[in-house]
Amino acid sequence: MQHKTENNIFEINSDTDGQRIDNFLLKTLKDLSKSNIYKLLRKGQIRINGKRSKPTTRLTVGDLVRVPPFVLGENQELFISENLLKAVRDSIIFSNNNFLVVNKPSGLAVHSGTGVKVGLIEVCKELFPETEIQLAHRLDRETSGCVVLAKNRQALNDFNQQSKDNNITKKYLALVKGVIKNNFEVELPLDVTTRSGGERTVTVSEDGKYAKTLFRVSEFYQRQIKSTLLECQLVTGRTHQIRVHAAAMEHPLAGDIRYGDEKFNQKLRKLGLKRLFLHASSIEFTDNDEKIIVSAELPEKLHKILSEL
């Protein structure tokens, strides 16, 4: 496990051997912006074995990385409630020597950041203090379901390579506006450079990156509110991909405040929907040539919404 020999000094172990100092700092000092980290490096305030370092300097086992004490905010102890610890512990649906899969609740961010003090990764590090747990991929805060965490750097690297090679299968369940009776697929490039109110907004744009989603009809509803439950499979993994692709086909997701239909959302709120209806229902990957398939049941509150339709 990565550990501090003093409050502001980190000793490098085998899991971070060979990693660049800038990447190490970006993962370790999550409360600092990228520009601030590079500023500290440029000014020589980050030291490796007492010496200044460049952002590209590679770390080796036994190196001592000194960070200015004021950066860590040691007086601000991270507080994680027992209820949250229990909720995440009870949400673990798979665990072996290399990976952990959590059925993440909606509303819990995967990591801390602007306006978010505690995320899934911070909770898991508290639950497993002797394991160097790292996020293997991300899930939007509003989305529930399967999140994979790696227990060591080799496992993380293996997962990342599978992701690059498109050898990971991710499936989601989404409730969308309108009655759809046939399966379909969407290939539309997505641009994530647009900013709206300081938040990330994704648009369909020729300048964007290639993105493809497969949509399969699971069930459609015509009695109360015309809507369809879709199984969505990501061929690529772009930010907000399912939400934007569905909206582009005039079938926005239920409860989607950013890309959705307000009248459709209002009708579903009356039935009790208080979140985005998007759930990461399964993920398939390999671990040392062993096929791992993990499924996460649709939350009871979403089942209830479907029963009202």
Please give the positions annotated as active site: 140
Tokens of 308: 């009202």
Tokens representing residue 189 in the block: 């490039």
The single residue listed with the structure tokens 């671990």 is 287
Query: What are the helix and strand counts (H, E) for the chain?
Result: 9, 19
Buried-state track 20-43, b at ≥16 Cβ within 10 A, e below 16? bbbebbeeebeebeeeebbebbee
To which residue do tokens 């005039």 refer?
A: 250
97: left (phi over 0), alpha (psi -120 to 50) or beta: alpha
How far apart (Å, rounded) are the C-alpha atoms in residues 94 and 274?
A: 28
How far is the C-alpha of 80 from the C-alpha of 72, rounded, in Å?
18
